[in-house]
Amino acid sequence: MAVQRFLNHIGGAWVAPTTGRYAPNVNPADHRDVIGEFPRSGAADVQAAAASAARGFAQWKRTPAPLRGDVLRRVGDLLAGRKEEIATLMTREMGKPLAETRGDVQEGIDTAYYAATEGRRLFGHTVPSELANKWAMSFRRPIGVAGLVTPFNFPLAIPTWKAFPALVCGNSVILKPAEDVPHTAHVLVEILLEAGLPPEVIQLVHGDGEAGQALVEHPGVPVISFTGSTETGSRVGETCGRLHKRLSLEMGGKNAQIVLDDADLELALEGVLWGAFGTTGQRCTATSRLILQAGIHDRFVTMLHDRAKALRLGDGRVAGTDVGPLIHEESREKVERYVGIAREEGASVALGGSRATAGALAHGTFFDPTILVGVAPTHRVAREEIFGPVLSVLRVGSAEEAFALNNDVAYGLSSSVYTRDVHVAFRAMQDLDNGITYVNAPTIGAEAHLPFGGVKQTGNGHREGGWEVYEFYSETKVGYVDYSGRLQRAQLDTYTS
Ligand code: UN1
């Protein structure tokens, strides 16, 4: 059967890329399974998208925000109606098990319904003026065209986190999804159009870094939101700084789960298995360090080893699969390189450490769940993001030492502490340098209606999700209305001496 060719959505229509180039989208669990061919777009495609998005913006910004919200409510309904279908196609192109892709779609549905109601809020403030017969108020205005560059690991949730608030605020959107997961993005755009979004308000430009760079550099795109590596994020930041663009960055993590001597070890075990090996470790929030207090260290490592070795690798669409493949060969090579580095630096591999190629796994990019013990805080595997199923175990003497170790990395997305002591739990929330701290829960699992993001090199101060993201996608404007009928001078006439 001929491989299906997909198109960009630019100028209100499905169109071929001007480059004439396409690339196959393959199933990471079985590279022989080709899902389709997707465009590799270039600067001319981005140019056309920006011109159309400018027209879309002129129309959309005049649509009242509650009606913009109504479109998002229909999007939520359509996503809910197609949840199973989207989860299945997402697992086919991304690899994570169906339970997880269902969760990914659910995060998009939650974001849609939250966005729908936000169309009836978008609060400003009305505050007293210091002068009589004068009103002072602030309100939100849309900004323009928002360029969204999204990663492979949450093919639906992350594009929706960015696009839905941007749209409710009245912006138009150009989406450049990761080249590994274009099919999910295609379906999302189909749904936005079916829900009644005016066609020029959403542009879909498929491609790799070339298209992403053209989008970031385009002068007609004043807002950029990027999720991906810290290295690429730095380059995006430099460009946006030079062009004075509004930029939200969500980048790497080196998230730790801390287990203290008084913890419920069974609970902590469930947490670390899910946090470290869920999504094959390919989450910004994945647990990549396990900090154990000395009193439970050896026992916990044994418990973890026994459970982790029973995890089943495979095609995420097959019932019983716990861990799917890595997204592509380059990513597997990176993981393998880090296991080599760990050995050279003196850590030992307690479990895994190699490619998984037996039987049906031979045609995918699988890697065994890996536990590294005897890791020192100075080791690279304790400091650098690996983005795979590799967990580095570190030993500490006290809660204080665990907190200091948690903070001793360049990243600051999420952290987790398992303890029964409420004093220690609250100290952790206060003192851990992360955007999110979980108590007695793993480092993953953020909910769509709370702000999401990290400190230090994880981000640049913005948050996605929840109420805060609406401030990123809108501009504050202030209005003063003086109905005194005479010139009133602020500061001067307020205080005459
Ligand atoms: C990411 O890893 O990029 O908190 C996002 C979580 C998910 C989102 C992760 N809700 O793990």
Phi and psi torsions of 373, nearest 5°: -115, 165
Tell me how far the alpha carbon of residue 447 lies from the centroid of ligand 1, in angstroms.
9
Q: Which atom of ligand 1 is nearest to the CA of 448?
A: 10
Which token pair is 117? 């109601």
Which token pair is 438? 């979980």
Tell me how far the alpha carbon of residue 293 lies from the centroid of ligand 1, in angstroms.
27
Whether pLDDT at 146 is above 90? yes
pLDDT digit string (tens) for 111-133?
Answer: 999 999 999 999 999 999 999 99
Ligand 1 binding pocket includes 469 (Cβ within 6 Å): no
Cα separation, 245 vs 222, whole angstroms: 5
pLDDT digit string (tens) for 203-243?
Answer: 999 999 999 999 999 999 999 999 999 999 999 999 999 99
Phi and psi torsions of 88, nearest 5°: -70, -45
Whether pLDDT at 77 is above 70? yes
pLDDT at residue 78, as a whole number: 99
User: What count of residues does the chain have?
Assistant: 497
Chain-wide mean pLDDT for the chain?
A: 98
**Do residues 316 and 326 make contact, with C-beta atoms less than 8 angstroms apart?**
no
Ligand 1 mutation target, pool 154, 248, 279, 434, most atoms within 8 A of CB: 154
Region class of 260: left (phi > 0), else alpha (psi between -120 and 50), else beta: beta
All residues at 6 or more sequence positions from 450 whose CB lies less than 8 Å from its CB, including other chains: 465, 466
pLDDT digit string (tens) for 36-50?
Answer: 999 999 999 999 999
**Runs of H (alpha helix) within 206-250:** 209-217, 230-242
Tell me how far the alpha carbon of residue 340 lies from the centroid of ligand 1, in angstroms.
28
pLDDT digit string (tens) for 450-460?
Answer: 999 999 999 99
* Single-letter code of the amino acid located at 472: F
pLDDT at residue 251, as a whole number: 96
**Active-site residue numbers?**
250, 284
Whether pLDDT at 431 is above 90? yes
Tell me how far the alpha carbon of residue 277 lies from the centroid of ligand 1, in angstroms.
13
pLDDT at residue 2, as a whole number: 84
Q: How confident is the model at residue 165 (pLDDT cuts 50, 70, 90)?
A: very high
pLDDT digit string (tens) for 318-376?
Answer: 999 999 999 999 999 999 999 999 999 999 999 999 999 999 999 999 999 999 999 99
Tell me how far the alpha carbon of residue 360 lies from the centroid of ligand 1, in angstroms.
29
Which token pair is 457? 């090199």
Give the per-residue SS3 of 41-100: CCHHHHHHHHHHHHHHHHHHCCCCHHHHHHHHHHHHHHHHHCHHHHHHHHHHHHCCCHHH
Look at residues 253, 268, 295 and name the one whose alpha carbon lies nearest to residue 409: 253
Ligand 1 binding pocket includes 161 (Cβ within 6 Å): no
Q: Beta strand pairing status for 8-10 and 13-15?
A: antiparallel
Cα separation, 163 vs 3, whole angstroms: 29
pLDDT at residue 68, as a whole number: 98
- Rg, the chain, Cα only: 24
Cα separation, 157 vs 165, whole angstroms: 13
pLDDT digit string (tens) for 414-429?
Answer: 999 999 999 999 999 9
Look at residues 30, 12, 111 and name the one whose alpha carbon lies nearest to residue 447: 111
pLDDT digit string (tens) for 465-490?
Answer: 999 999 999 999 999 999 999 999 99
Whether pLDDT at 1 is above 70? no
Ligand 1 binding pocket includes 285 (Cβ within 6 Å): yes
pLDDT at residue 497, as a whole number: 86
**Strand blocks (E) in 185-234:** 202-204, 223-227
| Ligand 1 atom 8: residue of nearest CA | 446
Ligand 1 binding pocket includes 446 (Cβ within 6 Å): yes
pLDDT digit string (tens) for 10-38?
Answer: 999 999 999 999 999 999 999 999 999 99
| Ligand 1 atom 3: residue of nearest CA | 284
Q: Is 109 strand, coil or helix?
A: helix
Is pTM beyond 0.95? Reply is: yes
Q: What percent of the chain has pLDDT over 70?
A: 100
Q: Which atom of ligand 1 is nearest to the CA of 284?
A: 2
Cα separation, 11 vs 22, whole angstroms: 20
All residues at 6 or more sequence positions from 344 whose CB lies less than 8 Å from its CB, including other chains: none
**CA angle, 361 as apex, 351 and 374 as ends, to 5°?**
15
Q: How confident is the model at residue 282 (pLDDT cuts 50, 70, 90)?
A: very high
Calculate the dihedral angle through the C-alpha atoms of 313, 315, 320, 326, rounding to the nearest 10 degrees: 40
